[in-house]
Structure 1
Amino acid sequence: MRTLLFCLCCLWVVTAPAQTFRASVLAGANLSQIDGDDLLGFHRPGVNAGLRVVALLGDRWRFGPEILYSQQGAKRNRNSINVSPYDAFRLSTVEIPLMVYYKDWRITAEAGASYQRLIDYTITDFRGEDITADLPLRDNLFALNLGVTLYLTEQLGFNFRWSRHVADIQQPDEPRLRGRGLTLRAVYTLGTGEPLPGRPTPDTPNPNAL
């Protein structure tokens, strides 16, 4: 399924007229946690990187998919005195968000949902022992996403995104666990980039003014 979706994205890029789509390279980091593990706080850093393709639906609206490699999970704060039975969750996923974007001035708001395929994970308990086999997680995960991008130039912007799983990430009959994440990343748009408002110009002097 991942291969099919990736091929569809590539086909879209190759066949669509240049004026109807834009492609971007994304690179940044996640800070994530898991609700229900009692570890508390966004202490798990991870990579978030990939590609985005959007269709231009007028001057302000965009719509399209991303394909990302995304590391998520949770981690005990070393200064914490919580009583969680876990020390860390490390999740590696291939993520495919499908997003709607609304652009105004240099700011673009975004909302959508994503499919995440879990490709690897490790769970350790409070003693540092690997308990991955004792807590099976789902291979297919789904999340809601909200975010905003500030463009500094036509090509370069910085994106902030919040995400949350819509269902438990573990198999049935296990403790209820749902991931949340904060993402900060650079967005580099290929080609001419995103049009930005021009620099303000002084008003033309009124010849009748004294």
Structure 2
Amino acid sequence: MKKAIFSLLAVVAFALPSQAQVFKLGIKAGPNFANFTGSDIQTKTRTSFHAGGAAEIGISKKFSVAPELLYTSQGADVEGVGDFNLDYISVPVLARIYIVEEKFSIDLGPQFSFLLDGDEIADDIENEDYDFAVAGGVTVNITKSLFAQARYVAGLTEASKDAEVKNSVVQFSVGYNFL
């Protein structure tokens, strides 16, 4: 069984690069406009940021897989309590579908986030250690190396074990591919 799995992985590893039209590796950063959804708690949007690495693995001229590794600061300003700050390491893995070849794409996929640090809304409210979300947006390749993105990330899991709120984030990014 181990031999069969290893053989399959070896075939996939050697076949993908020969079929891939592109491989890009770069960095990106930009502002976050974060808030909570799903509760009657009065909140205001919190402006923060995200930064990290981005890759793109071309499967065909119209389709790529775009994994990223990001530090992202989220949360919300909770009325009467203050700034609720949640810092995550996020791993979005997006399907990138090119509408205009090599220039404009629609991106969609899951995002897994792991809490690094978070403020408590109140002493008796505990944060979740992870966040699972769906992300969708667009990418515009300005040049071969420079790109811009707009994305919405909708949390699917509760951000807190007690408050029944989910993360909701609008992100704008500028990035540079060095490979």
Structure 1 stretches lacking a partner, 5+ long: 1-11, 77-83, 125-130, 192-210
Matched, 1:113 2:101: no
CA displacement at 1:182 relative to structure 2: 0.3
Deviations 1:141-188 (A, max 9, x none): 1011001012222211210000111021211xx221111000011021
Structure-to-structure mapping, 1:58-73, within 5 angstroms: 58-73=60-75
Matched, 1:170 2:160: yes
Matched, 1:22 2:24: yes
Q: Give, in whole Å, the separation in 1 of the partners of 2:140 and 2:67.
A: 19
Q: TM-score, normalized by length of structure 2?
A: 0.81
What code does the residue aligned with 1:30 have? Answer: N
Q: Give, in whole Å, the separation in 1 of the partners of 2:63 and 2:84.
A: 37
CA displacement at 1:46 relative to structure 2: 1.4
Q: Call closer, same or farther: CA 1:37–1:187 in 2, change over 3 Å.
A: farther
Q: CA RMSD in A?
A: 2.1
What code does the residue aligned with 2:70 have? Answer: L
Q: What is the aligned counterpart of 1:38 among 11, 26, 41?
A: 41
Identity of aligned residues (%): 21
Equivalent pair of 2:25/2:53 in contact (CA under 8 Å)? yes
Find the counterpart in structure 2 of residue 151 from structure 1. 141
Q: Give, in whole Å, the separation in 1 of the partners of 2:129 and 2:40.
A: 19
What code does the residue aligned with 2:41 have? Answer: D
Q: Give, in whole Å, the separation in 2 of the partners of 1:180 and 1:26.
A: 20
Q: Which has the higher strand share?
A: 2
Q: Give, in whole Å, the separation in 2 of the partners of 1:52 and 1:187.
A: 8
CA displacement at 1:19 relative to structure 2: 5.9
Equivalent pair of 1:71/1:90 in contact (CA under 8 Å)? yes
Equivalent pair of 2:132/2:157 in contact (CA under 8 Å)? yes
Aligned partner of residue 166 in structure 1, secondary structure: strand
Structure 2 stretches lacking a partner, 5+ long: 1-12
Find the counterpart in structure 1 of residue 97 from structure 2. 102
What code does the residue aligned with 1:38 have? Answer: I
Q: Give, in whole Å, the separation in 1 of the partners of 2:97 and 2:83.
A: 37
- Over alpha carbons, which structure has the higher Rg? 1
Q: Give, in whole Å, the separation in 2 of the partners of 1:115 and 1:65.
A: 11
